[in-house]
A and B are shown apart, each in its own frame.
Chain A
Amino acid sequence: MIPSLRSEFVKLSRRGVVVGTGCATAGVALLGTAIPYITGTTSDGGGGPMSSASTTEPGLASLSNDDGAIQGIATISKLLGVVVLVLVALSVANEYTHGTLKNLLVRHPKRATLLGGKLGALAISATTLALWATVIAVAASFALAPLNDVHIAQWTTASGIASIGTAAIGLVASNLAYASIGALLAVLLRAPATAIGIGVAWALLGEQLIGSLIDAVADVSAWLPGSLASGLVDTSDLGRISSSLALAAWVAGFTAMAIFVFSQREVDA
């Protein structure tokens, strides 16, 4: 597992990959942070199982609350997830399309640990990107607040710091969820374009559509991975333990399925 993980980092440390994912993540984090300042309204981006109905407050008043530094990021956690999904889907599916998987398997025939190590490296990258996004979002908030008469006194209180920590952890969980979706799609489809296409469509639209369909039968859409991930990033959300466990179950399930399919399938490309 460790050799495979280290081997993956040789590929992930390409300048193009580091700069590309770093800039994309920073860009999305900046966008999310700037949106309330630009539009002059804040919105609750949540939607976890226990969350109250979405609220929109007039003006920038809520930005002066203790979680003001990371409110913006909650609204765009899906886009951060998409960056991670693209990274993972490319890293996994390109091994098929480039034909490099056969080289890896000849040198490392144990398939479960091969993919396990690879996904481990990608999970570390997804975590790093989540923390990077938090840093950017907080820094940008501190820069933008004084220009817009937002009070930042609450941000540096204990509860302010705690909410930044909570959001960061939520973002890590969210990124890991999108990473596992990307990994499973890439292993199933073995082509980056289709895996990314389906993954992005699911993240941005599909889950809500399917959610509203099944909600007609039973009120469970909040337990789908995307909703759970968004809920965890939103610090105002309640019921964190149950949604954390549910999301962990999705991630474990997707990963196990990816490893199972990867181990069983023939390598004829």
Chain B
Amino acid sequence: MLTKAYGTRTVVNDLTLSIPVGQITGFIGHNGAGKTTTLRMLLGLITPTSGWGKVLGHDLSRPSAYLHKVGALIEGPAFHPTLSASNNLRVLTTIANISEHRIEEVLEIVGLTDRAGDKFKSFSLGMKQRLGLAAALLPDPTILILDEPTNGLDPQGIADMRILLQSFAARGTTVLISSHLLAEIEQICQHLVVIDEGNLAYQGPLHGLTERSSEQLIVAAEHVIDHGRLARIYRDRGYEVITSDIEYCETLTIAAARCIAPQLNRIAATENIVLARIEPHTVRLEDAVLDLTHKRRSNS
């Protein structure tokens, strides 16, 4: 439960989060929603106006108890422009008593080995971002907190990052990643936290959001010709068939929760129609999030 106010403006309001261990959690919200502010509180950089929290079992008020296991990239990569990439990392390994070997290792991981001696200011945007990630990886973290890490990365870089984060999660690292690229989040996160104007709008598994907002099932028979008959049968049994042109459609959309799928299947079977496909109608995360914030605001 965390609250942060700047003057009279409360930018994070009674936020209660739980981030699952060993998974990739997406942290999303519009510009100014309070994502960075929340992450700064987790890192002990700013103190909550009220509330409390625990990271790895330690209270937020004692960041030195847990930060040695945390790697973070907050609001873009920040380094000394006239210091080389490896010396910028050396500043951090020295201050944290981390072995110097890690410098080469993390530069290798992010693909900057052959630029290690170049000054930070000579780097491209994507290379700077990679160095930021390298710095976050230095302590071999149990928790990785990344604030918009894909900014400026090319498609290959984004794909590399995805594979990298997935391999970390597979090894038990907890990853918390904020992003505006919802398509990205959708591909790599199992868990999702959505905040809107400092308030929690959703937290839970990713599919809980993309499926919940629709509660619709897509049904397709083996032969398209059966769709008209099947739709009439479902209607007779009291199900709402949303598809309008039932005679000539590729699939039928039925307003029903996921758990109704076996019943729809059974009904079709008793009528000798074989179903080729029955699945939840997922909406794009982007639409789900817009929908969610829209609903939240019209309620309040």
Contacts and interface: CB of A to CB of B under 8 A. Distances in A.
Interface stretch (A2-10, A73-81, A186-194): A2-10
A102 interface: yes
Interface string A79-103: 0000000000000001000111011
Given A98-B78, A268-B40, A107 B45 contact: no
B27 interface: no
Contacts of A11: 80, 83, 91
B91 A3 contact: no
Contact of B79 (A16, A98, A106, A114): A98
Interface in B72-110: 72, 74-76, 78-83, 87, 90-92, 94-98
Interface string B43-65: 11111000000000000000110
A105 B42 CA distance: 12
Interface residues of A, number: 26
Nearest to B135: A103
B70 interface: yes
A114 B138 CA distance: 19
A3 B97 contact: yes
B67 interface: yes
A95 to B, nearest CB: 9
A108 B135 CA distance: 14
B47 A104 contact: no
Nearest to A100: B78
A103 B44 contact: no
A57 to B, nearest CB: 46
Contact of B80 (A3, A98, A108): A98
B29 interface: no
Contact of B43 (A98, A102, A114): A102
Interface of B: 40, 43-47, 63-64, 67, 70-72, 74-76, 78-83, 87, 90-92, 94-98, 135, 138-139
* Shortest beta-carbon contacts, A-B, top 5: A99-B78, A7-B95, A107-B96, A7-B94, A109-B63
Given A3-B95, A104-B92, 17 more contacts: A4-B95, A7-B92, A10-B87, A10-B94, A98-B78, A98-B79, A98-B80, A99-B76, A100-B78, A100-B91, A103-B78, A106-B43, A107-B95, A108-B95, A109-B64, A117-B95, A266-B45
